[in-house]
Amino acid sequence: MKKIAIPTDNNVSISQDFANAKWFKIIEVENNHVGSFRYIENNLSQSNGQKDLDLVRKLSDCEVIIAREISSKTQEEFQSMNKKIIITNEIQMDVAVDAFIKGITATN
């Protein structure tokens, strides 16, 4: 089973602003099928010096991060924990997850 984290403000689209998204949708994928999901509120949206590291810790149980944009500092933090980062131009969460499952996404 893999857990995917996606920033969202409305449960439909991928938030343009990773760090300031209202929530992170955590989707469990097993045997190439979407299973359960849950939301984690992003109560770290206020700027502080530890925000990048705090976000990485908050999403540490996820193996994959799908986003439209992530700061280089946050990407480095995720990569130091061997997380797969997928930067996409896709706006719809469902389409991006389906592309990941089918293996047609680019990773950073």
User: Could you report the per-residue pLDDT of 25-72, keeping only the tens digit for each?
Assistant: 999 999 888 999 999 998 865 555 567 678 888 999 999 999 999 989
CA–chain centroid gap for 39, Å, is: 11
What percent of the chain is modeled with pLDDT above 90? 64
First to last CA, the chain: 21
How far is Cα 34 from Cα 42, in angstroms, rounded to an integer? 23
CATH superfamily of 2-102: Dinitrogenase iron-molybdenum cofactor biosynthesis domain (3.30.420.130)
Indicate if the pLDDT at residue 108 is higher than 70. Answer: no
pLDDT for 100 equals 92
pLDDT for 66 equals 97
pLDDT for 47 equals 54
Residues with Cβ within 8 Å of 99's Cβ and at least 6 positions away in sequence, in order, are: 88, 90, 105
With H, G, I as helix, E, B as strand and everything else as coil, classify residue 40. strand
